[in-house]
Chain A
Amino acid sequence: MKSAGAGNREEIRQYYFVIRELVGREIKRKYARSFLGILWSVLNPLMTMAVMSMIFTTIFKRSIENFPIYYLTGQIIWQFFSGATNAAMTALVDNQTLLLKVKLPKQTFVLARTYAALTNFGYVCIAYVLMLFVFRIRPSVTMLLFVVDVFFLLLFSMGIGYLLSILYVFFADVKYLYSIILTLWMYMSAIFYPYESTTELMQKVIGSNPVYAYISVARDAVLYQRWPEPVRLIQMAGWGIVSFAVGYSVFRKNENLVMQKL
């Protein structure tokens, strides 16, 4: 209950507490009926990586240096993006009773879903760091860039999440459509094949794919330990900021319309 003199600071603290509780709920919920719970977040990427790497190195031989890390870097970034946007999409509809009765900012729920994906990503990173050790990737200063990359990826995912959550209220079909788009998008992100081996046209398509920019920067930062091309850095920051700005403003504009629809 709010004390009479609740200041702005306290409001922010409370807001933070609510988001934390909601994030905790999402994560506990995700693995509510499984034995291993959160351990899945760590094991899942490891096992997919192991299986995929063995298959791909056997089929395509050594076309990519250090394929396991190459694949894992792309995979965890993609998983974060698709997980965050998918969860954010249904955030408003899933919480409609709460939305109608509680005087919380509407975006709280979208944010909570996205942060839950980020927390999950944090657990995945434990597995990732472990694998970096196993495959003898030396620590390097460029790895700091990975953090920056994830920050902008978060902004980008939030923006898309805002848009999708609004759209989903009006058109439930978006869910199915988006899953198809995601599949196509994944294959356009050069997660398990080298970007350079594609045709020129495909390189143009993949090169303008925002998710590929995040994957490419992450690979440069961690695997190749070099500065990414300036184009990718600009894409990384640009897509993040633009997506967030557009998503947020659309969300704010349609907030009330959504409440009426619900």
Chain B
Amino acid sequence: MAPNQHVLLSPAELAYLHEALSLTPPIRPDGRAPTQFRPLVAETEILPGTNGSARICFADGTEAIVGVKAEVERTRGYHGDDEEEGGEEKREQEREGQDEWVELTVEIPGYREDDASTAFLAAMLSEALLADGGFAKKLWINRRFHWKLFLDIILISPPLSYPLPLLSLTTHLALLSTRLPRLKSEGDEDPFFDDDWAAAPYLYPQGTATTRPPITLLVMAVGRNIIFDPTKEELAVADVVLAVSVGEAATDASSTKGKGKAPGRSLRLLSVRTVDPPSRVTPPGVPNATNSAYGIAASAQKQPEARTVEAQAVEGVWRAPRGGAKPAVMAALVQKVLERGGVADEVLDALDAVELG
């Protein structure tokens, strides 16, 4: 499991870290604020052979490359042209996409391609992308043909932390820089494209901030604190970890009733998934009261089934958390992500600043 990769922290270190992160305000090992992201380097259109590409390098050295390739494909289930030619508006209505037009694969070195965690990452990213149904529509060419989009996400080195935010941000940039050749043919005839790359329109039209690819943020809670962009060590003591995908809402819909709102983008919640926190498989500490090295003679000849004696939690002794999270905590996490002018906003601003091409 990618999130459960082994963290070499002793139970005492885990207990210390957990305590530091539950303080108000939390003290993170690298001194970041709870909502602060790690610095990253990003560039786009690095691969000339693709329709769009991006590369992001985290400060810890984890690096991801995304290449987007598009192919024309015949649409299945189109049974000849027995319909009469409809008007242009009818054609617009017909524009509907299918989810299988997008194929997203994730490759992480050190993990098998059919590993469950890789499938989970890929499912999470494509779920966010397709959530509003608008993305697949962009791939419609005519009633007989569509674009098939291949998104290949490659992690250059084995991940040093849970790679979800990195993959999501890189995918976001790659899609922003994706261009599809301009269509020259009309109607339902075989598609014919302009071979001038400079004329190719962007998949996500530039300048209009209404539609952008979604981003997925990793957010975790320790006690009452909400922490963004957790490192591997921080994840090892998390009570709950959520992956929240947000997109930007079309501005016209919300600006009509926008008085008194905090400045910032209005966001849409696209998907939420619980990520199994690796803290559940951390080694527990042994309190002094039951430590045989400390003076309690291990009761000889224990009855079988008299398993490790249940004990009340002792302060300062790490115990892997049991159970789940309170619904209120889950709600607070999602709320925090969607906050206007909050972290998602900052991240989108930062991604805006990455120049295309």
A and B are partners in one complex rather than unrelated chains:
no
A contacts, CB < 8 Å to B: none
Chain B contacts to A: CB under 8 angstroms: none
